Amino acid sequence: MEYIYSAMILHSAGKEITEAAVTGILKAAGVEADTSRVKALTASLEGVDIEEAMKVAIAAPAAAPAAAGAAPAEEKKEEEPEEEAVSEEDAAAGLGALFG
């Protein structure tokens, strides 16, 4: 997670997300950076609109409870595991967008 956090810090500071910048943040935090993970992160973020990806990742879990509230109580108990799986898939899709 610290690799993702470093990219988010760079993004919110308006800085370019480069291997050197990510490595610098990780070192400043006392984390020994794995070069291959840093390269994978920066490569996966090329061309990704991070603002849009964050909005999608935040909106997906918020939509699931609204859908669950519309179901009758009996059906809600039976469908609850399925709704959780959809919610996890939505969240994963949002994170997938973050990484390209």
pLDDT of 72 reads 55
pLDDT of 53: 87
**pLDDT tier for residue 92 given thresholds of 50, 70 and 90:** low
Both 72 and 40 in a single domain? Answer: no
Q: What is the DSSP letter of 46?
A: T
Do residue 40 and residue 56 come from a single domain?
no
- Domain holding 36, by residue range, is 2-44
Question: What is the pLDDT at residue 68?
Answer: 60
For the record, the structure tokens of 100 come out as 């390209």
The CATH code of the domain that includes 14 is 1.10.10.1410
Give me the residue label for tokens 């990219």.
7
pLDDT band of 25, cuts 50, 70, 90: very high
Q: Model confidence over 41-51: pLDDT tens digits?
A: 999 999 999 99
Please compute the mean of the pLDDT values over residues 7-35 and round it to a whole number.
95
Same-domain pairing of 73 and 34: no
Rounded Cα–Cα distance for residues 81 and 84 (Å):
5
Average pLDDT over residues 1-14: 94
Same domain? For 19 and 34 the reply is yes
67 with 37, same domain?
no
For residue 46, what are the CA distances in angstroms to 42, 52, 68, 86, 97?
7, 14, 36, 27, 11
Check: pTM over 0.85? Answer yes or no: no
Task: Verify that 94 and 54 share a domain, yes or no.
Answer: yes
- Counting the structural domains of the chain, the total is 2
Same domain, 36 and 22: yes
